[in-house]
Chain A
Amino acid sequence: MPRVLLVEDDPSVREGVEIGLCQRGHEVHAAVTGEAGLEALDAFRPDILLLDLMLPAMSGVQVCSRVRETSQLPIIMLTARGDDIDIVVGLEAGADDYIVKPARTEVIEARIRAVLRRAESPIDARPAVEHHGELDIDRAGHTVLRSGDPVALAPSELKLLLHLSAVPEQVYSRQRLLKEVWDHSFHSDIRLVDACVRRLRAKIEDPSRDPRYIQTLRGYGYRFGPL
């Protein structure tokens, strides 16, 4: 069962989520502040970080950026609906998904599982490593090299890249990507896709040119290539 680091300042939410997840067999470490959460990272070594956006002192967004500086730990933000701008900023900072409070434990657990689910390995007899321009994508090893250098990708970024590059030049609508990559069961926030695309582009594209790998089809969605 995954180890969950929960950073939440409100005692009732913290305790409620902790109880709910523990009951389902998760190992949970709860931190009250962002600073405490960052400290607990090394000792607790979580599989996933559940991060409240509205924290006293160091905000959730700041914690998110700090974590992303050194690690590609899956991050899910806890937010309240209406904190729309914070959601966008949090997604830009590198969060993989978000949950709107209040939420039932089964919803929280489903999100955790979706984020942790590894991208499906190729079932056909593809070569283990695909070469797309300067990108080397290792589907089995879940690594991506750009001009030979490894690229650190957050779980959602890696999954999106693997999903799009599995069928180059196939156009995916944002709704479809939400469903297939994020496992959102019905209409959700397309900003999740847009923010992830931006983060992915920042890591693999040449900033001085138009996007080459992740291309936009205005009004329809995204596709990988053509190169």
Chain B
Amino acid sequence: MPGAAAAFGLRTRLVIAFLLVAAVSAVTTAALTYRQARNAVLVRAQDTAVTSFREEVEQFVPRLPLDPDTLRWDLYDIAARAKPHPWIVFAEYGSLRASSGDRPVSGVLTPELRRTTLTSAHGSFERVVKDGNAYLAIGMPVMTRVVAGGAAVPSGLVLFAVMPMTNEDVDIDSLVTAARDGALPGLAVALVPALLAARSVLRPVRELRRAAHSMGGGQLDTRITVRGRDEMADLARTFNESAARLERSVEELREAGARARRFASDVSHELRTPLAGMLAVTDVVDEEAGTLAPNTARAVRLISAETGKLAVLVEDLMEISRFDARVAELNTDEVDAAEAVRNTLSGRQWLGRVRAEVPDGLRIRLDTRRFDVIVANLVGNALRHGAEPVTVRLSARGDTLITEVHDSGPGIPPDALPHIFDRFYKADAARSRSSGSGLGLAITKENVHLHGGTIHARNAAGGGALFTVELPFDGPTSGSGAPDGPSHAHGGTGPAESRDRAETIA
């Protein structure tokens, strides 16, 4: 019954099973004991009665001639020596009837008893229930020796003893009561081991659940204490082994990831130094190119142009490495968002190409350099991949500043949309490498997250790609932004700052 099993808890099921077993064994034991004891009691009483009555009858010599009165006196004698309980003695001889009781004839005696008693020299007995009372009826023929030394023959006189078995009934009733009184406390006592067993099973189960939960929460060093050598201990041991293996693999993965990140960071560092030298001389090369032979001039200009792009790529790689290593710093300042956007656009000579719908008075706490990167990357992206007019729109909703960059191009292909912020993802495979480092949107996303904000890309209803950035006005709160960063995400003016100094800084 899986339904019923599911409806009750493990503890309930265990207790019910224990009680059932206890009840069945108690009832069975009581029933068997009852039957055995009842038989023993009845047989003993019956044997005693039959034996003593037989002795009485054997020693009984009736006074002749038989008359009811003298016979009755003799019967009184026999009745007085009744064993183990009082009995009433009846005598029958032909039509003569006598008894030690009130009535000469007993209603308990059956014709069958009378017949077997007459034919058997040893007499006969039977248990009779009359009017709800149990009686033992014993019939004994009185024997007489016709010839001295010869076999005894029935004299025709038959004595019956009728013994009420009330005492035995009482005994048996008390047996039943005893069985009942023993079984009920027995069941109650069975509850204790049932609960103990349930506890001993359930405690490891509870521990296991807690441990599994904690593992799921990322506590990979969670282990269970192994107690004893039972199945639960096996389970705990298996759990611990699996947890250790899991922890090891995760650790290996983490190390591999850290190695890869360190490698990327080292490579960019190593690339940067020669690039710094090369980039410093590109101006010289460009200026002199006009005086060189045409092919040499083209070659020189190519080197110069590619050096510039390489420098941008390496800078972007380093920026990404810092995000990966979580050492990116946030230097926040309270600024007017509109002014910040206008500065970005004017700094890149974009004011004529981009429509800025930026209301004044939206003051926000952010890292101006990073916000510049966010806006510049989105606008640059729109100008490169979309089409003019490009619109930058600022608005406030609750405690977030919404920055939207909308272009009028064909929009983003639906299959590219989920990957648009991936590193080195190119929406158009045929697109030339020359347009950006391929890291611009990935860096933009990281910068937004560092501020505790969100960024979304979609295609606007009227066509064109629409990027939406939401940033909290108060700057990042603790817990967002750089999760493992050492207090870098909390604004301020720099890590070397002491607190009292920070108070006097704008």
Contact = CB atoms under 8 A, between A and B. Distances in A.
A133 to B, nearest CB: 18
Contacts of A19: 280-281, 284
B276 A103 contact: yes
Contacts of A14: 277
A175 B506 CA distance: 11
Given A81-B315, A102-B272, A88 B496 contact: yes
Interface in A71-124: 80-82, 84-85, 88-89, 92, 101-106, 108
B371 A187 contact: yes
Nearest to A102: B276
A187 B281 contact: no
A103 B279 contact: yes
A105 B506 contact: no
Contact of B494 (A12, A20, A104, A191): A191
Given A12-B276, A81-B315, A92 B496 contact: yes
Q: Which of A88, A106, A194 gathers the greatest number of chain B CB atoms within 10 Å?
A: A194
Interface in B239-282: 269, 272-282
Interface string A11-30: 11111110110011000000
B279 A174 contact: no
Contact of B504 (A10, A84, A108, A211): A211
B283 interface: yes
A221 to B, nearest CB: 5
Contacts of B371: 187
A89 B494 CA distance: 10
Interface in A188-227: 188-191, 194, 197-198, 210-211, 216-222
Interface stretch (B341-349, B446-454, B457-465): B341-349
Contacts of B495: 84-85, 88
B322 A82 contact: yes
Nearest to B347: A186
Nearest to B287: A23
A87 to B, nearest CB: 8
A88 B333 CA distance: 16
Q: Which of B275, B279, B344, B506 gathers the greatest number of chain A CB atoms within 10 Å?
A: B506
A24 B280 CA distance: 12
A173 interface: yes
Contacts of B340: 175, 187
A185 interface: yes
Nearest to A223: B506
B274 A12 contact: yes
A20 B308 CA distance: 15
B309 to A, nearest CB: 12
Q: Which of B280, B281, B311, B493 gathers the greatest number of chain A CB atoms within 10 Å?
A: B280
A186 B372 CA distance: 8
A105 B506 CA distance: 33
B279 A23 contact: no
A175 B335 contact: yes
Given A106-B283, A175-B333, A220 B346 contact: no
Given A105-B281, A175-B333, 4 more contacts: A102-B276, A102-B314, A174-B333, A185-B347
Interface of A: 10-17, 19-20, 23-24, 80-82, 84-85, 88-89, 92, 101-106, 108, 173-175, 185-191, 194, 197-198, 210-211, 216-222
